[in-house]
Amino acid sequence: MENANLNLITCIVQRGEADMVVEAAMQAGAEGATIYYGRGTGIREKLGFAGMFIKPEKEIILIITRHVQTEAVFEAVIKAARLEKKGQGFAFLHKIDCAVGFLEK
C-alpha cells in the first residue's frame, strides 16, 4: 500500500443522473468514476407528499481525486447533480490515507 494524497468523492443521485454528473466531474479534472446502484430510504418519508416524486432507486458515484483536483471536481458534482435542491441527492468527501492500484499519469 502506498501513502496517498487522494480524496474520495461519494455522490448519491436519482437514478438516471449519474452519467451527467460523471461527465461534469471528468471535465473538471477527474480521471474516472465508478457507478453502482442502490436503494434509498428516509428522505421520501420526511418530505411527505412531495416525497412521492422521489424514486427510491439511486445511483452511487465514487470518484477518486488528487488533492489539487478535489475542490473543482466536488463543485462540478454539486452543480451537475443540482444538490442545492432538496431531494436531489447528496455528496461527501473522504480523505484517503492509503491506496493501491491508482494509476499515476
- Say which residue the cell 466536488 belongs to: 74
In terms of residue numbers, what domain contains 90? 2-99
Residue 104 lies in a domain: no
Give the chain's domain count. Answer: 1
Residue 105 lies in a domain: no
Fill in the amino acid letter for 71: E
Q: Each residue of 23-81: pLDDT tens digit? A: 999 999 999 999 999 987 766 555 555 555 566 789 999 999 999 999 999 999 999 99
CATH number, domain containing residue 57: 3.30.70.120
Residue 11 lies in a domain: yes
Instruction: Report the alpha-carbon distance of residue 69 to residue 103 in Å, rounded.
Output: 15
Asked if residue 87 has pLDDT above 80, the reply is no
Residue 86 has a pLDDT of 80
pTM over 0.95: no
Instruction: Report the alpha-carbon distance of residue 1 to residue 68 in Å, rounded.
Output: 21
